[in-house]
Structure 1
């Protein structure tokens, strides 16, 4: 692959031209996690591969999702157009070159403390559910912290990208410079959302849980009465451990408790020990496991 000059670099990705494929670009994910408009950032080994895999899978899913509707007694079908060609290695994918519309549309189902809605709307309680989902738009301007815009401002701006005038119906998309079509562009990965499975804040899943500084893990521990267990791939463990120690002693108050365990098996064992305090069946199985381990060690010792 003949990679040309860098066309763009953002917080979590880089875009390069492809000299052998006019109209195509390479989107390279970065092992970087940011917060607060990149005011805080950390290197996280392996994050680029995870982000690229998620983005590729979602784009492929959207391309394959065909929507049908009835119009004038006929069924019509269409698919969602995306700026995605194919995955390229572990940390990059190939896409049509686009001119990006500098508007970010945010869809909210639940008001969360980690989002901006509660800060801008004092009096609304965390966990408030929007019906229908709350849709807001922001002008992408890092220097001014991405100010909120109205639809009227968007229309009045009279944006024009790749020869296409942007009006009320265009979203956080890009304009394909070759076909002049609006397509779903950029990336869609774990930096793009905050998830509360079944509306349960304690199971919140977003980019903050990947932060190797350990700060947010400790912060979550300080806001829950439930035990917190952190398990990471082996290649991330020592990086995380050192940053967590640094954060704990230099930034965080005494009195926080969360466990960092190297292996998934160890995390499962620790969780079983917690459940075993109030569940005699789990406790009995743990005791049997300990006894079997003890017997195996004795037998091995005799053979030696």
Structure 2
């Protein structure tokens, strides 16, 4: 059953390529309606492009769904129809955040001597003040701070700038790895933030579509599929606009492939059903990180042949797998798995009682030729497994990256509160 559409209230703001409506029945929601319009150069170049609104909505919806699933805080709620989506009402912060992996475009004009293709590690970040009349001038961190911008009851100070800065890089890296899974290079991108007045939260807002980035298939600038093609047109003809539209459609089709079902898993093997509660904690933490997790009961001491059959079953399927061995007392399970598996093995023994400090040595002190690691707590074992699997699964990688960001933001906000409580 489809969700009920939000009725449109008055226009909140209208721009060159979209209209924002207040939701008629909910003061905290707005509807962002895209237009069949393409512009460049602060509106100096502007043309109708039939179908662009639907293409833009396809793209931005898929991107925000990916980011929401990863754990990034955004204003996106859900799609509404072919050309609009529902979001939380935000007061927009008039700063545009640009992240660059490769030096190209306007960066080269502003930084003469830098060769095109220079790779920024870490990504290069720039900020621009939203001011069409002055062509969005570049601002330094200090200028952003000195401006004393107040939005939605929130003064944009050091903490707020730092949160937006770190979130911007995280969003770029998540999308960069996502596009890399399709052999496309995300060269640079711009995003904006807003303040949700009811909570004071800073949320990733506005839209993210082919107007927002440079995207080069196979890392080849000649194959670019972004709005730069439109910017560089010497003459805007019907055929040229049709080519631009086809590029945007190419992106809109592929962006839906950026959130595949997980292609990796963790398998918890416990030596006894008495270890079930400990193993369930591991599974719960794995699932939080987007890692499918299965539980099995097998004893390397009492049922070695069956343990080997289970191992062969999983390795034979060819799905990237991390095994987590849960066995107390004399841990034979982890070492036996490690000695016979090509996939990684993590020991996470259920330590308790007076013998816990002794039991752990059977997981730590291993015979030569074995490489299983030992993690003492379920959350740590799940995170270790997720980090291993994230090497080949960008969805899991994204959840880890967003988790790290949200932990950092939580500490930042707690520090700010402690200062203000003086």
TM-score w.r.t. the length of structure 1 is 0.64
Give the structure with the higher percent helix.
Answer: 2
Match of 1:42 among 12, 23, 47: 47
The CA deviation at 1:208 is: 3.5
For 2:240 and 2:102, the matched residues in 1 are separated by 34
SS across alignment from 2:57? helix
Please state if 1:63 is matched with 2:53.
Answer: no
Match of 2:162 among 158, 162, 169: 169
Match of 2:207 among 153, 166, 187: 187
Structure 1, unpaired ranges of 5+: 66-78, 220-238, 245-257, 262-304
The CA deviation at 1:123 is: 2.1
User: Which residues in structure 2 correspond to 1:98-247 (within 5 Å)?
Assistant: 98-112=90-104, 115-167=105-157, 168-171=161-164, 172-209=192-229, 211=230, 216=233, 240-241=238-239
The CA deviation at 1:180 is: 1.7
SS across alignment from 1:178? coil
The CA deviation at 1:243 is: 7.0
TM-score w.r.t. the length of structure 2 is 0.46
SS across alignment from 1:64? helix
Larger Cα-atom Rg: 2
For 1:103 and 1:129, the matched residues in 2 are separated by 24
Q: Are the aligned partners of 2:49 and 2:241 in contact in 1 as well (CA < 8 Å)? A: no
The CA deviation at 1:193 is: 0.2
> 2:376 is matched with which residue?
none
Q: Deviations over 1:73-132 (max 9, x none)?
A: xxxxxx2111011100000001111000000111111122xx211111122222222222
Question: 1:3 and 1:155, CA in 2 relative to 1: closer, same or farther beyond 3 A?
Answer: same
Q: Deviations over 1:31-86 (max 9, x none)?
A: 11111121101110011101111111111111111xxxxxxxxxxxxx21110111
SS across alignment from 1:127? coil
> 2:31 is matched with which residue?
26
Structure 2, unpaired ranges of 5+: 1-5, 165-191, 247-422
Match of 1:80 among 72, 78, 88: 72
Question: 1:217 and 1:202, CA in 2 relative to 1: closer, same or farther beyond 3 A?
Answer: farther
**Stretches of 4+ aligned residues off by more than 3 angstroms:** 241-244
Please state if 1:10 is matched with 2:2.
Answer: no
Counting matched residue pairs gives: 209
Q: Are the aligned partners of 2:22 and 2:29 in contact in 1 as well (CA < 8 Å)? A: yes
SS across alignment from 1:11? coil
For 2:141 and 2:28, the matched residues in 1 are separated by 31
Question: 1:111 and 1:4, CA in 2 relative to 1: closer, same or farther beyond 3 A?
Answer: same
For 1:203 and 1:243, the matched residues in 2 are separated by 16
